[in-house]
Structure 1
Amino acid sequence: MTVPHDETDGSDGRSLHARIAADLRDEIMNGDLAPGAKLPSTERLKERFAASNATVQKALGLLKEERLVIGRAGSAVTVREHRQRTMRPASYMAPADAGDRYRWLTEAEKLGPRAQSRLLRVAETVPPADVSAVLGLPEGGTALLRHQLLLIDDEPVELASSYYPLEIARGTLLTKRRKITGGTPALLAELGYPPRLSVDRVSARVPTQEQFTALRLPGDLPVLRTLRVVRSDDERPIEATVMVKAGHLYELQYEFTAG
């Protein structure tokens, strides 16, 4: 596809280098430019997009900042081997077996050699309105927050804020600022609240200041925000988690059966 030379053409108000980066980004994310593949040469990109050398280099610079490609000016630019990772939420919903690590960590290590979590904050707080609604809290009601950053190979993957009803959390390890063996699903099951049903609501958002900084985002690319409510017996809500990932680096895969 050839893009008009003008910086704006009335149909897409973004700068030409941003439009070039957007088209190449899409080809990287959908696999047309596979992990490890070389991007077309600067000359071919100049011809394809009717752009100057400086504009093409500026577009490639954006993709490098986004950690989608690697390479130096004047040399071949290639797609990173881990240009986009697929996360499968259902694979780590069940409680871990006794003594095992949190399932998110074991599943994430299939994508990279080292996964870890950093617990940032544990406190009683008023949740966001949508979280309060799914937990059935009154206006101004509080819940216990466990706020953590999840990483793969020291690269931030997900900022997760998990909220628990106080009548469940108080007096338990949930209130302690330390990691929980097997993760919170295992602890909730031990407390008599086994996870039975999880419902995800996924949306694309502009990152907040905290999300931008914690996830080391390169610009105003959207993030994927998942609001998950976990219910136990009698459909009682026992956990609501807001999970935020870089939209250009991660995708979510859900599997369904006909019925």
Structure 2
Amino acid sequence: MRPSGWSNTSAPYIRPRPDGEPDAWTEEAAQRGHVGTNELREVGEIPAPADIARDLNIEGQPQQVVVRRRIVLLDGVPIELADSYYPASIARGTPLAQPGKIRGGAVRLLAELGHRARKVEETVSARPATAIERDLLGLDAAEWVLVLRRVTRDDAGTPYESTVMTMVAGGRELRYEHEEG
């Protein structure tokens, strides 16, 4: 089952969660009578791809980033690929660079490390799905994906996270809201 007519707000995804609270996706899906989960596909340190280097303001020099790649599921069905990138200088030696769930979530860990979201920039584009995306998301050859790119900056304006979310596009409208409160 793929969601349609689902309105989303980014705010819960960029705020640290208190102890004992489910992650934002689990909570959002449950509020709509569904089960939302994530599967971690890969965690590792890699050379920064050009677009990620630009997002993280580390262009022009060979830089390493830590990537966490996840498959987002709704009622057990893959609906999104989410790849989060962090400068290695921030993530190296932390749970961000280790396989497995992060106690309290990445947003909370980053806040504890001094990186709390102050400004979030999101862009959405659409394109044909790649072969890997078709395989992981169970798409047909002609299907397209929506790509939401989120760059998160701290109080100093320093970008510390770039997340690329590749979503099933068929019959889906995305509406995002963000209020700072």
Shorter-chain TM-score above 0.5: yes
Cα separation, 2, equivalents of 1:256 and 1:190: 23
Do the aligned residues in 2 keep the contact of 1:202 with 1:225 (CA within 8 Å)?
A: yes
Gaps (5+ residues) in structure 1? Answer: 1-66, 68-81
Deviation of the 1:181 alpha carbon:
2.9
Cα separation, 1, equivalents of 2:127 and 2:102: 30
> Residues 172 and 235 from structure 1, CA distance in 2 versus in 1: closer, same or farther, beyond 3 angstroms?
same
Task: Report 1:114-125 matches (<5 A).
Answer: 114-125=35-46
Do the aligned residues in 1 keep the contact of 2:137 with 2:168 (CA within 8 Å)?
A: yes
Do the aligned residues in 2 keep the contact of 1:98 with 1:182 (CA within 8 Å)?
A: yes
Tell me the residue number matched to 1:207.
129
TM-score, with length taken from structure 2:
0.89
Q: Aligned AA for 2:151?
A: V
Task: Report 1:38-49 matches (<5 A).
Answer: none
Deviation of the 1:85 alpha carbon:
4.4
Q: Secondary structure at the match of 2:70?
A: strand
Aligned residues: 177
Do the aligned residues in 1 keep the contact of 2:16 with 2:111 (CA within 8 Å)?
A: yes
Q: Aligned AA for 2:84?
A: S
Q: Aligned AA for 1:244?
A: T
Do the aligned residues in 2 keep the contact of 1:112 with 1:153 (CA within 8 Å)?
A: no
**Using CA pairs below 8 Å that are at least 6 residues apart, which structure has the higher relative contact order?**
2
Q: Aligned AA for 2:168?
A: A
Identity %, equivalent residues = 36
User: Alpha carbon RMSD of aligned pairs, Å?
Assistant: 1.9
> Residues 177 and 200 from structure 1, CA distance in 2 versus in 1: closer, same or farther, beyond 3 angstroms?
same
Q: Aligned AA for 2:36?
A: A
Do the aligned residues in 1 keep the contact of 2:121 with 2:150 (CA within 8 Å)?
A: yes
Do the aligned residues in 2 keep the contact of 1:221 with 1:248 (CA within 8 Å)?
A: yes
Deviation of the 1:94 alpha carbon:
1.5
Deviation of the 1:204 alpha carbon:
0.3
Asked if 1:230 is matched to 2:152, the reply is yes
Q: Secondary structure at the match of 2:120?
A: strand
From the two aligned structures, give the one with the greater strand fraction.
2
Cα separation, 2, equivalents of 1:96 and 1:104: 12
Q: Deviations over 1:67-126 (max 9, x none)?
A: 7xxxxxxxxxxxxxx661424142422221123222122112233431111001001112
Asked if 1:130 is matched to 2:51, the reply is yes
Do the aligned residues in 2 keep the contact of 1:125 with 1:145 (CA within 8 Å)?
A: yes
Deviation of the 1:153 alpha carbon:
0.5
Do the aligned residues in 2 keep the contact of 1:109 with 1:152 (CA within 8 Å)?
A: no
Gaps (5+ residues) in structure 2? Answer: none
Deviation of the 1:249 alpha carbon:
4.5
Cα separation, 1, equivalents of 2:50 and 2:134: 21
Asked if 1:88 is matched to 2:21, the reply is no
Cα separation, 2, equivalents of 1:112 and 1:181: 25
Q: Aligned AA for 1:88?
A: N
